[in-house]
Amino acid sequence: MIRGDSMAHLVELLDVYKIYGEGLESEVRALDGVSLTIERGEFVAVVGQSGSGKSTMMNVLGCLDVPTRGEYLLDGTDVRELSDRQLSRIRNKQIGFIFQQYNLIQSLTVLENVELPLIYQGIDPIDRRDMALEALERVGLSERIKHHPTEMSGGQQQRVAIARAIATRPPIIMADEPTGALDSHTGLEVLAFLRELNNEGSTVILITHDNGIAATARRVVRLTDGKIVEDHPQDVDWYAPVQRAKKGGMDL
Amino acid sequence: MNLWQAVKMAWKSIWGKKGRSALTILGIFIGIAAVMTIVSVMDGYKRAMTAQYSAMGTGIINVTIYDWSYDEQGNDVSKDYFPDLRAFCNSLKEVQGVSPQGRLYNVTVSYSTKSTANMRRQLDDNGNLIGEAPPDMYYGSDQYSRCNNLTLVRGRDLAALDMSKYNQVCTLGADAAKLFFGTTNPVGKNLMVNGTAYRVVGVYAPRLEDNNTGYNSNLDNIIIFPYTDQRMLGGEKPNEFVVKLRDSNKLKEVKARINGFLKGVVPNENFYVYSNDQWQQAEEAALGMVGGVLAGIAAISLLVGGIGIMNIMLVTVTERTREIGIRRAIGAQRASIVAQFLIEAAMLCGFGGLVGIAVGTGGSLILGQILFKMTIYPSFPVTLGAFSLSVAIGILFGSYPAAKASRLQPVEALRAE
């Protein structure tokens, strides 16, 4: 449970390691002594090539995975001390996930997908429906709530996923390559939406391999081989993704 | 997450794969149908058996005395124990009535064109009676009807005076009256018994609703004569007696007292005192054993059905690993995942159970007709039990796949294709 200790950093990684096959010759250090703090209201891009450990970092930050060593304080709480129940509640209430592959449940309708986190919160059906519809309206999908994800385009599916992420009004949004499967125009829409959420006060953590996309964030954390090699604020360049796309070769 | 949500989710997933779900529940459905049929047919037969016994009356003690003696000419000079037995029994406040109860054989009864000489008890392949069966003939005292759960509907009962005066009279069971007289009133009419006229003085009400089944002797196709006539009718001296109690709970106690009395009267303890609940218990025990074996076989089919459910649920968990990962990522606790798969398994089996109950009900009706000529509906407890059993199987065999699903690490589950 997040204690709401306003003095603490929102996210604090202290010398965190995630090691697969530790001690073996084939040992992989996905995170190799990472320390990082993120404050409330930041818009952070975590950039790195594939295999740099950026997805592992998101999994750790999102309480989907536990570090091999090191401390992770979420709003001052050491997540290693939390039970499955408490971790589930954090994922449910504090974090909204947006994935590259959308990760919608195909057998459920759009509305049911967006309602799902609210169901796990135990919100009663009428309020739940209202909250889900509100979220869908924000992403401009209030018309197609009875459709199944397979009947929609990639961009629409990602908007459903965003609606699901924001339906519970979480303080943290974690987006793992949210534009990776989208065309450049749709990708920009998604980025603009993340920006909007950030302006409204949400902390946004954006994971990407694309420097152009990372340029839309106020702060860049660059990972190479599980280590942070760069961490600095930057001027936001809204046009970087477009220019890179125009130069060709780079998909958003 | 509340239960209703979980049930709705499970229903969606079952309905989404109709064909597979139907095949999955096949084992459960067959098992439940078999269990239902076996249990309810056994149950129905037991109820019919109990009805037969209670039609004969409860709280009944039978006494047999086998003490015969003959003079040098070979004449039967055996002692008649009935007066002694009656005197003793009438002194017991628990006893309602006492009577000799002997069967008469080689007696020909006729009225007009109908004669028992032309009647035979014959059954067809299905156990149905063919044609007319001759009535069973008994002799008894004025308390015979009381001892045998018979109630008079016409005329009068046998009286003590009929015994002492050696009156040539008789009473008829409902079916015997119908046999000889059809719809006309038999009271006052004369039956020819071995060539001698016997006046019908009374007719009893039917004891069983349905006497159509040929396997059991027809309790209403009977003629009762005063026991004092038995020597004339070629019967033996009364050696079988029936004692009817006011309260069937006193059976054991009264049996012991009659035993004690007869020990002092009959030489060499040549007598036997028993109650028909002994037969009933023995028959029930035998029936229970047969039922147990059959139920065991049905239970094995349920076990196989349960393993089938477990297999399919394991496949489902594997197929839906990614879905589990997504649910975990957006806040489902382990318990929610367990509940989801358990409820799905329980619902699957519950549906199997419902179909099984429907088929089992049909099976009970058909088998009951074929085997016992009875209409057997499964009782409510059996139906409820069958349904609970199927749901319990779902929970039992669903728990391993559900636990497996809940133990998946969210991050690994999300990586699944």
Which of A91, A99, A105 has the CB atom closest to B331's CB atom?
A: A91
Answer with the residue of higher pLDDT: A24 or A47.
A47
User: Which tokens sit at A139?
Assistant: 């992403």
DSSP state of B372: I
Per-residue model confidence (pLDDT) at position B338: 92
Report if residue A97 sits inside a domain.
yes
Please give the average per-residue pLDDT across B301-327, as a whole number. 91
Residue A1 has pLDDT above 70, yes or no: no
User: Which tokens sit at B336?
Assistant: 């929610």
CB A160 within 8 A of CB A116: no
- If you average pLDDT over every residue of chain B, what do you get? 86
Report if residue A19 sits inside a domain.
no
B344 contacts chain A (CB < 8 A): no
Which residues constitute the domain of residue A139? 41-61+83-247
Question: With left for phi above 0 and alpha for psi between -120 and 50, is residue A225 left, alpha or beta?
Answer: left
Chain A residues lying within 8 Å of B332, measured CB to CB: 88, 92, 120
Question: B327 and A65: CB-CB below 8 Å?
Answer: no
d(CA A34, CA A24): 21
Chain pair A-B, CB pairs under 8 angstroms: 67
Question: A146-160, B48-62, B95-109: which has the minimum mean pLDDT?
Answer: B48-62
Residue A25 has pLDDT above 50, yes or no: yes
Nearest to A58 by CA among A194, A219, A176: A176
Chain B residues lying within 8 Å of A103, measured CB to CB: 322, 325-326, 329, 414
CB A192 within 8 A of CB A123: no
d(CA A5, CA A202): 17
Report if residue A219 sits inside a domain.
yes
How many percent of chain B have pLDDT more than 90?
29
Question: A59 and B335: CB-CB below 8 Å?
Answer: no
Chain B residues lying within 8 Å of A92, measured CB to CB: 330-332
Please give the average per-residue pLDDT across B281-301, as a whole number. 84
Per-residue model confidence (pLDDT) at position B126: 67
Pick the residue of B326, B330, B337, B415 with the most A CBs within 10 A to test the interface with A by mutation.
B330
Question: A65 and B409: CB-CB below 8 Å?
Answer: yes
Where does the pLDDT of residue A6 fall: very low under 50, low under 70, confident under 90, or very high at 90 and above? low
Chain A residues lying within 8 Å of B1, measured CB to CB: 119-120, 122
CA distance B410 to chain A (A): 6
Per-residue model confidence (pLDDT) at position A103: 93
Chain A residues lying within 8 Å of B409, measured CB to CB: 65
Nearest to B39 by CA among B351, B371, B280, B381: B381
- If you average pLDDT over every residue of chain A, what do you get? 88
State the distance between the two ends of chain B, measured CA to CA, in whole angstroms.
26
Domain count, chain A: 1
Question: A65 and B331: CB-CB below 8 Å?
Answer: no
A235 contacts chain B (CB < 8 A): no
Question: B331 and A117: CB-CB below 8 Å?
Answer: yes
Where does the pLDDT of residue A157 fall: very low under 50, low under 70, confident under 90, or very high at 90 and above? very high
B21 contacts chain A (CB < 8 A): no
Report if residue A216 sits inside a domain.
yes
A184 contacts chain B (CB < 8 A): no
Report if residue A198 sits inside a domain.
yes
Per-residue model confidence (pLDDT) at position A36: 94
B323 contacts chain A (CB < 8 A): yes
A93 contacts chain B (CB < 8 A): yes
Residue A5 has pLDDT above 60, yes or no: no
Residues 145-174 of A with CB under 8 A from B: 164, 168
If residue B318 lies in a helix (H) or strand (E), which one and from where to where? helix B276-319
Chain A residues lying within 8 Å of B340, measured CB to CB: none
Question: A65 and B411: CB-CB below 8 Å?
Answer: yes
d(CA A90, CA A96): 10
Please give the average per-residue pLDDT across B341-365, as a whole number. 93
CATH number (domain holding residue A139): 3.40.50.300
Report if residue A72 sits inside a domain.
no
CB A194 within 8 A of CB A178: yes
Report if residue A11 sits inside a domain.
no
To the nearest 10°, the Cα dihedral for A202, A207, A211, A216?
A: -10
Classify B225 as helix, strand or coil. strand
Nearest to A11 by CA among A90, A94, A76, A98: A76
Report if residue A114 sits inside a domain.
yes
Per-residue model confidence (pLDDT) at position B41: 85
Question: A64 and B327: CB-CB below 8 Å?
Answer: no
Which of A91, A107, A168 has the CB atom closest to B329's CB atom?
A: A91
Please give the average per-residue pLDDT across A117-137, as a whole number. 92
Chain B residues lying within 8 Å of A88, measured CB to CB: 328, 331-334, 336
Report field, pTM of the whole predicted structure over 0.90:
no
Question: A88 and B334: CB-CB below 8 Å?
Answer: yes
A86 contacts chain B (CB < 8 A): no
Please give the average per-residue pLDDT across A171-187, as a whole number. 88
Where does the pLDDT of residue B74 fall: very low under 50, low under 70, confident under 90, or very high at 90 and above? confident
Burial zone of B296 (CB within 10 Å; 0-12 exposed, 13-18 middle, 19+ buried): exposed
Per-residue model confidence (pLDDT) at position A249: 47
CA distance B326 to chain A (A): 6
Please give the average per-residue pLDDT across B66-80, as a whole number. 78
ipTM for this model: 0.90
d(CA A203, CA A217): 11
Which of B330, B334, B411 has the CB atom closest to A84's CB atom?
A: B334
Classify B272 as helix, strand or coil. strand
All residues at 6 or more sequence positions from A86 whose CB lies less than 8 Å from its CB, including other chains:
A1
> Residue A104: closest CA among chain B residues belongs to which residue?
B326
Classify B41 as helix, strand or coil. helix
3-state secondary structure B44-98: HHHHHHHHHHHHHCCCEEEEEECCCCECCCCCECCCCCHHHHHHHHHCCCCEEEE
> Residue B414: closest CA among chain A residues belongs to which residue?
A103
